[in-house]
Amino acid sequence: MYTQAMDTAPKEERAAIRNADEVVAEQAFEAALDNEGFIEAKDWMPDHYRKTLVRQISQHAHSEIVGMLPEGNWITRAPTLKRKAILLAKVQDEAGHGLYLYAAGETLGTSRDQMLDALHTGKAKYSSIFNYPTLTWADVGVVGWLVDGAAIMNQIPLCRCSYAPYARAMVRVCREESFHQRQGYDALLTMMQKGTDAQRAMVQDATDRWWWPSLMMFGPPDDQSPNTAQSMRWGIKRITNDQLRQKFVNAAVEQAKILGVTLPDPDLKWNEARGEYDFGAIDWSEFWQVVNGDGPCNKERLAERVDAWNDGEWVREAALAHARRTAARAEKQAA
């Protein structure tokens, strides 16, 4: 999901090589890519690689942070203390993942405030999926099952991204994220197996609403993803959107059966020849509508982020003032 930035933004053009030193540096850079090696923060890299990565990593970070909002609403409304503790841990993880990623983005020479400013002014995007509402408790389970499931599938290849600080952050993210999908599915299983008819209907309703947006998380079809070749070369993407989407559908169909819900797609059926599930056409006009700002919750999500940032300003200032005063006092005593 989090590689959406690669597909929905214009391609950064390669700058003309200016001098002999750069030619040598670029050869070393290309050789590292040829050998599936890593580029470290202070290694030479072409500008369009740097810019593309800043965009990709910062928008990935924004997705983690904005992604806290739909679930955060349910922390105080979780049905049991156990579910509340689990959800709290998960949402805290998302905050942590955002921080790892912002830190990785900063190694490319863009400050945290610059990245946040791009989010708050609407210049930077985040994953389209977080612009859908979480209407019932079953939504929290389905977000874990489908949304985190899709995210994990998308993020695992990023652990081998050519930009080392990003790859290292992704190793940590993926290790922590594996419980996120399981806890969601577990919550849904409880509702399906031990719940009332009304609760089972709630799970089905949430599945119906989240299924198609989850498939859109993988980004536009391959023939409409002009940046794919470059992203593959740079190891920002290792598997195409359509391949990942197919893999996700294959896994989800079996999971839905065990859960006892139906997926809202009459065209979903096993294709013996392909050895995979066929599925219906995705409404890409909905995807672009949400990406371009007209999803069900775009305004609400962004407004909530901006409010949180503005409300926290006095805390940030006070902490800095306290640190400066303490440092000044220590200096005076030492003198």
Partner 1 sequence: MTASRTDLANARAQAHEWPLWEVFVRPKAGLDHKHCGSLHAADSKMALQLAREVYTRRQEGVSVWIVRSDQIVASDPADKAMLFDPMEDKVYRHPTFYELPPEVGHM
Of 148, 145, 156, whose CA–CA distance to 252 is shortest?
A: 145
- In the complex, the smallest distance separating the C-beta of residue 319 from partner 1, rounded to whole angstroms, is 4
Q: How far is CA 148 from CA 91, 116, 141, 164, 187, in A?
A: 12, 23, 10, 24, 14
The correct pick among 27, 80, 92, 243 for binding partner 1 (CB under 8 A) is 92
* Stretch 145-204 residues interacting with partner 1 (CB under 8 A): 168-169, 172, 176
Q: Which listed range, 133-141, 248-256, 285-293, 318-326, lies at the site for partner 1 (CB under 8 A)?
A: 318-326
Q: Which listed range, 75-83, 134-142, 203-211, 320-328, lies at the site for partner 1 (CB under 8 A)?
A: 320-328
Q: What is the H or E stretch that residue 116 is in?
A: helix 112-120
Distance of CA 246 to the CA centre of its chain: 19
The correct pick among 113, 222, 278, 294 for binding partner 1 (CB under 8 A) is 113
Question: Angle at the Cα of 176 (from 172 to 177), degrees rounded to 5?
Answer: 115
Is 319 a binder of partner 1 (CB under 8 A)?
Answer: yes
- In the complex, the smallest distance separating the C-beta of residue 328 from partner 1, rounded to whole angstroms, is 12
The correct pick among 100, 163, 166, 248 for binding partner 1 (CB under 8 A) is 100
DSSP secondary structure of 1-15: -TTHHHHHSPPPPPP
First to last CA, the chain: 55
The correct pick among 9, 75, 103, 164 for binding partner 1 (CB under 8 A) is 103
Is 329 a binder of partner 1 (CB under 8 A)?
Answer: no
Q: Which two tokens stand for residue 195?
A: 């719940």
Q: Which two tokens stand for residue 319?
A: 């902490």
Binding mask 297-316 for partner 1 (x = CB under 8 A): -------------------x
Q: Which listed range, 12-20, 107-115, 229-237, 269-277, lies at the site for partner 1 (CB under 8 A)?
A: 107-115
* Alpha-carbon span 15 to 51, nearest angstrom: 12
- In the complex, the smallest distance separating the C-beta of residue 141 from partner 1, rounded to whole angstroms, is 22
Task: Name 53's Cβ contacts closer than 8 Å, sequence gap at least 6.
Answer: 105, 108, 163, 166, 234, 236
Binding mask 205-244 for partner 1 (x = CB under 8 A): ----------------------------------------
Q: Which is nearer to partner 1, 26 or 242 (CB)?
A: 26
- In the complex, the smallest distance separating the C-beta of residue 302 from partner 1, rounded to whole angstroms, is 20
Of 10, 97, 45, whose CA–CA distance to 235 is shortest?
A: 45
What number of chain residues touch partner 1 (CB under 8 A)? Answer: 30
- In the complex, the smallest distance separating the C-beta of residue 288 from partner 1, rounded to whole angstroms, is 33
* Plot region of 293 (φ>0 → left; ψ -120 to 50 → alpha; else → beta): left
Q: Yes or no: say if 195 and 141 are a contact pair by the CB < 8 Å rule.
A: no
Is 30 a binder of partner 1 (CB under 8 A)?
Answer: no
Q: Yes or no: say if 200 and 191 are a contact pair by the CB < 8 Å rule.
A: yes
* Alpha-carbon span 70 to 77, nearest angstrom: 12
Give contact residues for partner 1 (rule: CB under 8 A).
40, 42-44, 89, 92-93, 96, 99-100, 103, 106, 109-114, 168-169, 172, 176, 316-317, 319-320, 322-323, 326-327
